[in-house]
Amino acid sequence: MATWNSRGLRGSTLEDMINRTNERYREKGLALIQKVPTPITPIKIDKEHRHITLAYFDQKSTVDYIGAVQGIPVCFDAKECDVTTFPMQNVHEHQVRFMDDFERQGGKAFLIIHFTSEQKFYYLHIRQLLRFWNRAQEGGRKSFRMDELDPAYFFESSKGYLVPFLEPLSLDLEQEQER
């Protein structure tokens, strides 16, 4: 059973950065994206400080974020990686299924990966994720390296946005029209 204090704060810096970016996107009328809360059941509570110190997850969550960008439904999950090789074990089957289903319904599904050692972000579309996922499921490599990724989808903080993912999303939409 996964518990709150075992892995609960991992990725919180990235999520804070994305939350601030989403606030700016909303203020500018560019997107409306919300953090999907993970349902938990508290086990131990520090009553003096009013903090949950131990909890378990009620159910598997789908993705971290869901919303709309200029009328286009989007969902994505945020992942952090402190090396240049991303382990596929960081993505769960129920997340892959949800994103694939979301895409089949006409939305855009992707991961935002923060390669912290390189201080770079990567927009990983579900199509590309599925290639790596299927390779791992078929007995191949259980990870992917940064050098396997399309350089056009790397991005950095810019123009006052901490995680400006609308730029690679726009590129993805353009390339999709060309297919």
pLDDT tens by residue, 48-59: 877 767 655 555
Q: Is 147 annotated as a binding residue?
A: no
Query: pTM score, two decimals?
Result: 0.83
The one-character DSSP state at 179 is -
- Is 62 within any annotated ligand binding site? yes
pLDDT in the model for residue 39: 63
Domains of the chain: 4-178 (3.40.1350.10)
The confidence band for 7, taking pLDDT boundaries of 50, 70 and 90, is very low
- pLDDT at residue 159 greater than cutoff 90: no
* 105 annotated among ligand-binding-site residues: no
Tens of pLDDT, residue by residue over 74-104, are 999 999 999 999 999 999 999 999 999 999 9
Q: Is 82 annotated as a binding residue?
A: no
Q: Please state at what angle helix 93-104 crosses helix 126-137, rounded to 10 degrees.
A: 140
Are the CB atoms for 41 and 59 separated by under 8 Å? no
Please tell me the distance from the alpha carbon of residue 16 to that of residue 23, in angstroms, as a whole number.
11
What is the C-alpha separation between 123 and 106, in angstroms, rounded? 18
* Mean pLDDT, rounded, for 162-171: 96
